[in-house]
Amino acid sequence: MVTQTRQNLHTPHLAVKAAVYLFMVPFLAGALFLDDVCPPAQARKIRERGKKRRKAEKNKEEAKVVLRTIQFPDKYSVGKLFKIETSALGIYSRGAALGEAKGKVSVPAEDKVLLDVEYEGFKNLKFLQGLKADDLYGLSLANDGRGFPVDDGELVLIKHLSGLRVLELEDNDITDDGVNNLSSFGNLEVLNLGHTMISSASLPVIARLTKLTQLELDGISLGENAIKDLSKLTGLKALYMRSCNLKSTSTKHLAAMKSLAVLRLAGNKIGDEGVKNMPVLAELKELNLNETGVSDQSLEKIASYQSLAILTLRGNSFSFSSASSLKSLSRLKKLFYLDISGPKLTDDKIAFGKEMPALKTLRLSAEPANRTAISRALPGVKLVFDEPKLPLELFDPLKGR
């Protein structure tokens, strides 16, 4: 009887049903299932057809991807390749890693490729001369201990790379003369010159790169008129000018940069007057005013930037003497990250957070005894408490002797 049942199953009709079922549910293509439904020879044919179909589909998908090649030195890697992406704020970011920059590398033609140069590449940057004009969308020569500082003379090696839209040069020995060599890169969208040796004399040259959407000048003493000198960059979406020796009068010139989404001015003593001088920036999503000398009286103006999602105010002159001084921040309904660490807070003073539906993370300072009550006051918010700093005398072995 069992033999008869298996013979009935071995009919063309059922074999076709099995093949269709396997097509719809590939993961059921186990040997046991096929052997129960089909004779061994027919089961092998079904498996073979399935393999060919899957291979054909894979080849079809791969055929859709148009590749291009970039030639790097064959004997060693000069760095790593990354795909350039754009964040939700319209800001440049590194995406997926595309592998080592060694030999002939194939990448999808539509990918915006960034080369992050590492030690072996820094040893001899002449390999850059072998690249084609449009090989790279982005180039990072940032010196973070992986190689040797790049100087003005070496920037000549990239003058032919007209396809560059992203250029990172921070922490290098670049001077005003080197910036003059960048004047031919009229299509640059992202430029990072942070912690280089340039001066305010470079600002007019940078201002002529009018397609810039992101500019980083952190750690350079550029003075009171720096933003004014950059006011032609009306398309900027991100401006990083931390510790640039800006003054309270500097911020009024931000009025020309109406598209700003990210503004980081930490370490500039602009004070409350500087905040008062800040213009309406309807697109502003991130504001960093750490260590800028602002106080409670600036909170009302800061709260007028209603599109803010990230706000950092640590290391300032806030007292937060009453709960009402923080109340104005509750108007920031889109804010999801807030840093107000400094003055010690209690649960009654952070009650404003209950009126901020988007708030996910709050960084603050509080005495250990008050932290439980604060956590209960904002149950849906991740609280990050600043730990007290240890007194410096603990690290002085001669103290008290």
Amino acid identity of residue 213, one-letter, is T
Domain boundary among 294, 327, 347: 294
Domain boundary among 158, 188, 214: 214
Domain region containing 34 = 2-64
Band the pLDDT of 42: cuts 50, 70, 90.
confident
Same domain, 209 and 245: no
Same domain, 75 and 208: yes
Same domain, 365 and 351: yes
**What tens digit of pLDDT does each residue of 370-389 get?**
999 999 999 999 999 987 66
Domain boundary among 274, 294, 314: 294
Same domain, 237 and 282: yes
**Residue among 210, 189, 103, 195 at smallest CA distance from 139:** 189
Same domain, 249 and 385: no
Q: How many domains does the chain have?
A: 4
**What tens digit of pLDDT does each residue of 81-122 get?**
999 998 877 789 999 999 999 999 999 999 999 999 999 999
Same domain, 202 and 93: yes
Mean pLDDT calculated for residue range 32-47: 68
- Average confidence score pLDDT of the chain: 87
CATH number at residue 165: 3.80.10
Same domain, 290 and 221: yes
Answer whether residue 19 shows pLDDT above 80: no
Same domain, 177 and 81: yes
* Phi, then psi, of 302 in degrees rounded to 5: -60, -40
Rounded Cα distance, 310 and 105, in Å: 39
**What tens digit of pLDDT does each residue of 295-308 get?**
999 999 999 999 99
Answer whether residue 174 shows pLDDT above 60: yes
Same domain, 393 and 362: yes
Query: Which residues make beta-bridge pairs with 80?
Result: 100, 116
Report whether 336 contacts 358 (CB < 8 A): yes
pTM: 0.81
Same domain, 46 and 91: no
Same domain, 347 and 376: yes
